[in-house]
Structure 1
Amino acid sequence: MSVTQQYLLDTYRAAQHSAPTPPAPGRDDWQAVREVREYGRFRAVVAERPARGRLRAALARFARGGRLSGGAVARTPRPLP
């Protein structure tokens, strides 16, 4: 069953029981993305890491020393605390 078919079925059931209709699929997707991003920033602050610019910095490090530049980099594992 597709998302649209499930939504139509839920809407029909809500109408039969005089209940409020469910939100349309995809209506709150961007809000969910914003909440996930804010949660990641919150966790970064709690862990005492920079809250902004982490993705761009990680991609830059990856591009300089990772597979995007064509060279393999030997990495040593971090010691366990």
Structure 2
Amino acid sequence: MSITQQYLLDTYRARQHDEAAPPAPGTHDWQVVREWRDERQFRAVLVGRPARHRFRDVLNRWRRRPT
């Protein structure tokens, strides 16, 4: 069963029981990614490593690169 089929089934069941419909697939994807990133940074600090923003660091290096 695909995720879309499961969502439609869950929506149908919610309507039958007069409950709120579940969120659509993909609604909270960015929130999950942010929470995962925060968790990685938090664990890095607990282990004693600096919490780095690798992608942002690379962009800053490229921006500061002498031309």
TM class by smaller structure: 0.7 to 0.9
How far is the alpha carbon of 1:19 from its aligned partner? 0.8
Gaps of 5+ in 2: 59-67
> Is residue 2:57 matched to residue 1:52?
no
Query: Gapped runs of 5+ residues in structure 1?
Result: 58-81
Q: Indicate the residue corresponding to 2:27 in structure 1.
A: 27
Distance in 1, Cα, partners of 2:35 & 2:47:
18
Match of 1:23, as an amino acid?
P
Q: TM-score, normalised by structure 2?
A: 0.76
**Percent identity among equivalent residues?**
63
Structure (1 or 2) with the greater helix fraction: 2
RMSD: 1.8
Q: Give the count of matched residue pairs.
A: 57
**Cα deviations across residues 9-55 of structure 1 (Å, max 9, x unaligned)?**
10000000011110100100110000000000000111110101457
Which of the pair has the greater relative contact order for Cα pairs under 8 Å at 6+ separation?
Answer: 2
Moved over 3 A (4+): 53-57
TM-score, structure 1 length as denominator? Answer: 0.64
For 1:8 and 1:31, the matched residues in 2 are separated by 23
Q: What is the letter of the counterpart of residue 7 of structure 2?
A: Y
